Structure 1
Amino acid sequence: MLSRNAIAHAIAALLVLVVAVDARTDKATGISFPDARGGLSLFGVGVRRKGPIKIYSVAMYSTSALQEKLAKCKKTDKKTLTVLQKGVKEEGQASFSLNMNFKVGAEKMASAIADSVAPRHSGSSQDVEKLKALILKGVPQAGATKGTTMDFDCSHDSISVTVNGKAQGSVASSSLASAFCDVYLDDKCVSPAMRQDCLDHLCLD
């Protein structure tokens, strides 16, 4: 039988895992994201800028297992970023949640995402076109207005798209899913603020 101290320590450990990453607000836009999505935990939030324009806020979600790995790393260590980048792909579970802060036309928004993914994708260009079509399918005719949400769930072998809470479909392509992760995590990522927020909140000082 477990002692009271052992039980207390076990409960404390569980509480640490539960509250390790709280719901956060992107300070640049005031847009908030929940601390969990689809069984995954919130890693970081940040803004996507185009010059002075704050286009949207983005949050990344992934597994508690990857959280635990990052919790042992120093955020200032160059290797830590590699742990994050490779870990997301190895886990095969990552979700990127976009919440619009500035109105963008449907075609322009879909093209912007497709154009970011294309040079990072090693597979067929048709995969990128399919992704673009799913975004266009979901975004209202009025465009991606302020408050429009887009969620991209990346697994080992596919990426699925949800717009304003409605599933639009998926593209079966491991390369496309990997490329989408790179859009937000590689050295030329479109939201350095989000990537840095992951390190700031999950890693050791």
Structure 2
Amino acid sequence: MTPAPIRLSKQARREQLLDAAVGIVRTRGSDGLTLVTLAEAAGVSRPIVYDHFGTRTGLLLEVYRRLDERHRAALIEALEAAEPTADAIAHVMSTAYFACATDMPEFAAVSAALKGNPEAEAMQHELLEEYVKVMAAALAPHSRLPREALQLRCIGVLGAAEAIATELNLQRATAADAIAALTDLIVGNVARE
């Protein structure tokens, strides 16, 4: 006799589904993630997946949000342990950024799958603002820039970081070179003491 499936709370089931979704994107790419493939991978019925996410876009948005939250949490944790100097903070930020780019390749895949979706663009902008706030707060003691100017420079640095991450993922740069380049950009353009 087959044992009955374990009943999970709604939140625990959602976490299980998001874990399975990230696994699908990691192994099959974002095109391989559908509500049907998620239900199959998680061993649940389709209505359960539809109840949690509604649409494939809803699912992709939640996966993106989860990955962003993990990335931001890793950055915050690393910053808490950083020496309180501009160079150390910039180095920690750079290391955390590229660790995400290499350790969470599904982040870029999900982002690409959401391109052109207005809801996704609004959410990505909201999450970018949160990430920029973390960066700016860590760099503020080491910058003479007004808050708005500091945040705008952080946005610019993140654009450069994304371009460097592409080079890193294409193996046209090493992790050490990527970290050094971004650290220099942060210190030179944002953290002027």
TM-score (norm 1): 0.27
When you count strand as a share of all residues, which structure comes out higher? 1
What's the TM-score once normalised by structure 2's chain length? Answer: 0.28
